[in-house]
Amino acid sequence: MQYMVRMTVTLPPDLDPEVREQLVAAEKAYSQRLQQEGRIAAIWRVAGQFANYCLFDVASHDELHELVSGLPMFGYIQAEVEALATHPNSIR
C-alpha cells in the first residue's frame, strides 16, 4: 500500500556541524536502504525548501510509522501523511 508523506525538516541553524553531518549521513543511509528494499518507492526534494515528498510502499500503518519514526531526523521533522488509493484514471 502506498502513502504520500510530505516532510518539512527544521534543523537548528546553530546545530553543531558535526552532529549535522552525522544526521545527514545517517538519514541518507537509512533512506537508501529503504529504497533498495522497495519500501520507499520514490523520494523528491521540494525545490527551494528543506522538505521532501516520500512515497512509501509498505504493508501496514504500523510499518509506515515504524519507518518514518525511525528516521534519524524524525525529531526535526513535521510529517503530513496521506494514504493513497488507486486512481480510477491511472493506467498503471
Position 3 contacts a second copy (CB under 8 A): yes
Position 61 contacts a second copy (CB under 8 A): yes
Position 11 contacts a second copy (CB under 8 A): yes
Q: At 67, which amino acid appears?
A: L
Cβ 33 to a second copy, closest distance in Å? 10
Position 57 contacts a second copy (CB under 8 A): no
Position 37 contacts a second copy (CB under 8 A): no
81 burial type by CB count under 10 A (0-12 exposed, 13-18 middle, 19+ buried): middle
- The answer for residues whose C-beta is within 8 angstroms of residue 1's C-beta and 6 or more apart is 57, 58, 59, 60, 83, 84
Position 39 contacts a second copy (CB under 8 A): no
Q: At 56, which amino acid appears?
A: F
Rounded Cα distance, 44 and 55, in Å? 9
Give the binding site for a second copy (CB under 8 A).
1-5, 11, 13, 27-28, 31-32, 35-36, 42-50, 52-53, 60-62, 64-66, 68-69, 74-76, 79, 81-92
